[in-house]
Amino acid sequence: MPNIIQYRNKCIGCGACVELQPGLWRMSKKDGKATLLNATIKNSIAILPVGKDMQKLQELITSCPVKIIQVI
Ligand code: SF4
């Protein structure tokens, strides 16, 4: 199963990931960055196992203007 990886400390808070997948992301009112819901966070890197809808995941990756979302 693939994992979404987000380098959260580099998030610029554009909101593109939240618009694309509102069920998976929320904008934090504390720091204005996107939070990957239910993710494990290690060293400011959020990791979440996800389903296999690779087209949606590809859209997610390309939507991030600072390229801090990966699927591995
Ligand atoms: S698309 Fe990237 S920069 Fe924009 S809010 Fe999401 S993680 Fe942050």
Model confidence pTM above 0.85: yes
Q: Is the CB of 11 under 6 A from ligand 1?
A: yes
Average pLDDT of the chain is 94
What end-to-end distance do the CA atoms of the chain give, in Å? Answer: 9
Instruction: State how far the Cα of 51 lies from the Cα of 43, in Å rounded to an integer.
Output: 24
The predicted pLDDT at position 1 comes to: 83
Q: Is the CB of 16 under 6 A from ligand 1?
A: yes
Element holding 49 (H helix, E strand) = strand 45-49
Task: Identify residue 65 by its one-letter amino acid code.
Answer: P
70: its two tokens: 């990966």
Contact 61, 50 (CB under 8 A): no
pLDDT digits (tens, 9 = 90+) for 15-49: 999 999 999 999 999 999 999 999 999 999 999 99
